[in-house]
Amino acid sequence: MNAAADTAVRVTVPASTANLGSGFDALGLALSMYDTVEVHPVDGPAGSARVEVTGAGAGSVPDGERHLVVRVIHKVLAELGIPAPALSLTCWNRIPHSRGLGSSAAAMVAGASAALRMVGVDPREDSNAELVLQLVSEWEGHADNAAASLFGGLVIAWNDAGRFHAAQSMVHPDVFPVALVPQEESSTHTTRGLLPEQVPHADAAFAAGRAALAVHAMATDPSLLLAATADRLHQDHREPAWPATTDLVRRLRAAGVPAAVSGAGPTVVAFPAAGALPGGVDLGDFRAEPLPVDGGGVRVGPLG
């Protein structure tokens, strides 16, 4: 590891969809929609930053040292005992913010990966990946999105006494995710506040069975995805936050299309056969965007 964060880096990180029905805070799937960040150490006051954003969040996300990627870079460097240099960041954002596609987790994975690579460390090596996963998951409160953006593919995430872990699972080549993205935004904090503190035992048992089935269906038999993505644990409780989302989920499922709320919503993720949605389902204000599974996770390398 270098003694200074003096390497310019470029990071590309995928979006993710979480839960996949009943796998609440446990299942995540990386999608081929990407944010890219270039980080350059520059002359200037230590810890200062200037940030240029193109795409999602341009003109609305915090600037300078308050930008999420910068905050994570500073946190990782502090953990390593390395002073933060002045930074110049350029961000190209495709992942829409506050839509349930893991934009905040992707930004944090990008920041943590950039910080490690700036000091000559590979963020994908085992102990370093554990550091990234732990830091981002503590910040988020759950590891499903972070693990998907970090590792790619399908991930199963869990929390063991405050330590976050993730395992990867195979994804069948006939799994074709389609994101149905509305214009409206949604707050994860708000939608989590709608969840009950307790659920009936029958609903918990239903969720356990369907989450396990989802892993099998994703890896081995996509024909089971309609049953596997059913949920009684969280989606209906969150309906007041985005009624159009749950309505679209129900109509897609009635048409035989596996569908669920993506993360905290309001995006819907569907898994139609061959990636083609049926023509008879009115999508309303939702924009359909086919997003193949990303199998590689975060990519990071030096610039110049």
Question: Residue 26 and residue 267: Cα distance in Å, rounded?
Answer: 18
Q: Is 99 marked as a binding-site residue?
A: yes
Taking Cα atoms as reference points, which of 252, 246, 93, 97 lies closest to residue 178? 252
Q: Apex CA 272: angle with CA 264 and CA 25, to 5°?
A: 25
96 assigned ligand-binding residue: yes
Reading the block at residue 137, the tokens are: 């998951």
Are the beta carbons of 158 and 143 closer than 8 angstroms?
yes
Which residue in 298, 296, 231, 222 sits closest to 268, CA to CA? 231
22 carries a ligand binding annotation: no
- Strands 178-181, 268-270: pairing is antiparallel
Tell me: is residue 67 an annotated ligand-binding position.
Answer: no
Any binding-site annotation on 98?
Answer: yes
Which of these, 276, 142, 166, lies nearest to 215 by C-alpha position? 166
Q: Determine if residue 106 is labeled as part of a ligand binding site.
A: yes
Amino acid at site 107: A
Which tokens in the block code for residue 188? 């994860």
Phi and psi (nearest 5°) for 252?
A: -65, -45
Q: Which residues contact 80 (CB under 8 A, 6 or more apart)?
A: 1, 115, 119
Whether residue 102 is annotated as binding a ligand: the answer is: yes
40 is known to lie in a ligand binding site? no
CA dist., res. 24 & res. 22, Å (int): 5
Phi, psi dihedrals of residue 226, rounded to the nearest 5°: -60, -50
Please give the helix or strand (H or E) that residue 40 lies within, else none: strand 27-42
- Tell whether residue 97 is among the known ligand binding residues: yes
**Residues that constitute the known binding site for ATP:** 96-106
**Residues that constitute the known binding site:** 96-106
